[in-house]
Chains A and B, each alone.
Chain A
Amino acid sequence: MSFLELTGVQKHFGPTVAVEDFNLAAERGEFVSFLGPSGCGKTTTLRMIAGFEVPTAGTIVLDGTDITHRPPNRRNVGMVFQSYALFPNMTVGNNVGFGLKVRKRPGDQIRKRVHELLELVHLGDKLDRYPYQLSGGQQQRVALARALAFEPQVLLLDEPLSALDAKIRVTLRHEIRAIQRHLGITTVYVTHDQEEALSLSDRVVVMSEGRIEQIGTPFDVYNFPATGFVASFVGTLNVLPAVVVDPVGGGLSVAGQAFRISRPVSARPGSTISLALRPEMVSLGEGGGENVLRGTVADVTFLGSIVRIRIAIADGVVVTLDEFNEPTLVLPQLEASIAISFPAEGPLVLESVPVIEPDELIAEA
């Protein structure tokens, strides 16, 4: 049996279905992220684990104990909020020690633990400060220390970095992961930021409209998206309308240009399917794989470490590709005729993404 198990969990708010048949088994010490757009049910699911919402159906089992209907203050679950939620009337030390005081631990034990946790989050010198005297990043560190102080069985983080600026977000992200690994605590992390989810997690749960779209390692979710939604939400994606030529041999064509994918296609010859192609699978020139398409350069965007190039294959069919920004890189001229190539393993057939309008051909998360 897994350490944290959610089985058939549902949550309805009146006629609105917020979470539908949610099943997850997380192992002890695992870092699981819930990833999805706003309103996909990720925070509601987290709140059900915390006990702030009661599931309409299903069970939540923590370390073999059914906690579905247990009040939040008796769950032994630590929570970090987006808005820090530090008690403004208490010092940093009292905030961190609050959970231990509630549990009636002796004073010297509380002091020792508070020191320990504040050292862990690099705020050992801020014991007597009030929350308003700290920066956003420091406040969130205190919130993390407070949530960990009473040694909860599970740590829940609800978009903890959303309110912080980009640089602190990245630093704190690494710190959270390091602390989680150091303590070996089972962690559930809610985010709408794919980079956060992919870089932090052992497994990612991608959600949409209250349903789980895919559960997998960051590698699997990125490289082998189970549904069209996952493919379009995680990472940058080219979606091409391809006509099936040879279903068994994986033969397809885009705008009259033939190419081949490495697996058979379950569609009739002559029908159109949606094909997903990651920008990093595509190379400039003919040396990037056995498939070659020709088009004209529509746009070149400099993004610092990479250069993003958009190639128009035909009217309304555009492929985006990324090149590393090296000093030797020769940028193609706009309107120039150019060849691009990709391996047969590169494209993924998307069953559920319809052939879409030209403007939407590049779906970015």
Chain B
Amino acid sequence: MTIETRAPGALDALVASGRRRRRLPRVNPFAWLIFILGVLYFLLPLVGTFLHSIRTRPDIFLAYRQVFADSKFFVGLGYSFAVGVITIVVSLLIIVPTAYWVRLKVPRLRPVVEFVTLMPFVIPPVVLVFGLIRVYSSKPLVLTATNIGSDFVLVCAYVILSFPYMYRAVDTGLAAIDVRTLTEAAQSLGAGWARILWRVIFPNLRTALLSGAFLTMAIVIGEYTIANFLARTQAFGPYLSLLGRSQPYTPAAVSLISFGLTWLAMGAIAFLGRGARTRVQVAGAR
């Protein structure tokens, strides 16, 4: 049996170090494992895609050069971007007044509206597009026979696809401001519904609208099924798919470029939404 002796003060130091140790957050090896697995899950495909895209020899960036030299890339991106912008505008014009009205006048209908906006998650795009083609390729309303008609149907389909993202973004934005009191304040000052929406509600939803808009844009840019079935082969999704069938390395480069563009869009959300968020949060807190 050994009796351990310590110098005076050593015990205090030990207790103090114990206290210090207790203050540090405990490192859970399991948490680290999950974190590392998560990072690998997201990064490996990107790294793999990048490595695949630079396998061209002797010029390892040939795929990227080809992408930027191909006019179809810009046509596809431009077309999908234009369709995305129109989709966002139409979606906002439908969702913002609806979400606003439901919150203000019929809050008991919120679960119903929420369920309706979730339909695109329940109905696969292929079912949706077949339904649209069946309805709009026969009389009385033949839309798919012309290019402009097909573009119109494409936008309508994308508007429906955007509902879950747009509604949630807008509804969260509305929850952050006192919609009822702001509306009543504007009404008491003489404003009608259009002015209230345009001058009071829309500007205070800036961050939420941006989030919904960029999510919608991301969906539209990458969508393949609906665009393909509506013969919108110039759209970015079908272009990417076609490229994959004919060239080995270019689609990987295109994927990474579109990934980079998406990150730029996310950065833009954070940057543009910064001022608005600060204002809404701090208002009334002093």
Contact = CB atoms under 8 A, between A and B. Distances in A.
Interface in A53-69: none
Interface string A66-96: 0000011111111101011111110000000
A131 interface: yes
A103 B286 CA distance: 32
A338 to B, nearest CB: 50
A50 B286 CA distance: 28
B106 to A, nearest CB: 15
A83 B191 contact: no
B148 to A, nearest CB: 37
Contacts of A75: 188
Interface string B176-187: 011001101111
Interface stretch (B32-40, B66-74, B79-87, B277-285): B277-285
Interface stretch (A33-41, A134-142, A277-285): A134-142
Contacts of A74: 190
A132 B282 contact: yes
Given A83-B181, A89-B203, A98 B189 contact: yes
A49 to B, nearest CB: 11
A102 interface: yes
Contacts of B283: 86, 88, 131-132
B178 A78 contact: no
A330 B253 CA distance: 94
B272 to A, nearest CB: 14
Contacts of A146: 189
Interface residues of B, number: 28
A194 B199 CA distance: 38
A78 B280 CA distance: 24
B128 interface: no
B211 interface: no
Given A98-B189, A131-B284, A79 B279 contact: no
B133 interface: no
A222 interface: no
A228 interface: no
B231 interface: no
B192 A79 contact: no
B284 A98 contact: no
A102 B191 contact: yes
Contacts of B187: 51-52, 71-73
A130 interface: yes
A159 to B, nearest CB: 12
A99 to B, nearest CB: 4
B286 A135 contact: yes
Nearest to A94: B199
B195 interface: yes
A136 B190 contact: no
Most chain B C-beta atoms within 10 Å of own C-beta, residue among A83, A103, A134:
A83
A147 interface: yes
Contact of A79 (B178, B185, B280): B185
B200 interface: yes
A132 B181 contact: no
A132 B190 contact: no
A72 B284 contact: no
A79 B195 contact: no
Given A87-B182, A102-B195, A79 B188 contact: yes
Interface in B260-286: 276, 278-280, 282-286
A233 interface: no
Contacts of A86: 185, 283
A150 interface: yes
Contact of A147 (B177, B181, B188): B188
Interface string B182-222: 10111111111001000110011010000000000000000
Given A88-B279, A131-B283, A131-B284, A50 B188 contact: yes
Nearest to A76: B190
B191 to A, nearest CB: 5
Contact of B188 (A77, A83, A135): A77
Contacts of B280: 88
A98 B279 contact: no
A86 to B, nearest CB: 8
A190 to B, nearest CB: 14
Most chain B C-beta atoms within 10 Å of own C-beta, residue among A73, A78, A84, A156:
A73
A134 B285 CA distance: 9
Interface string A258-270: 0000000000000
Contact of A99 (B177, B178, B189): B189
A150 B286 contact: no
B178 A102 contact: no
20 contacts: A50-B188, A73-B188, A73-B192, A76-B190, A79-B184, A83-B178, A85-B181, A85-B182, A86-B283, A87-B186, A87-B199, A88-B204, A89-B204, A89-B279, A102-B189, A102-B190, A131-B284, A132-B286, A139-B284, A150-B190
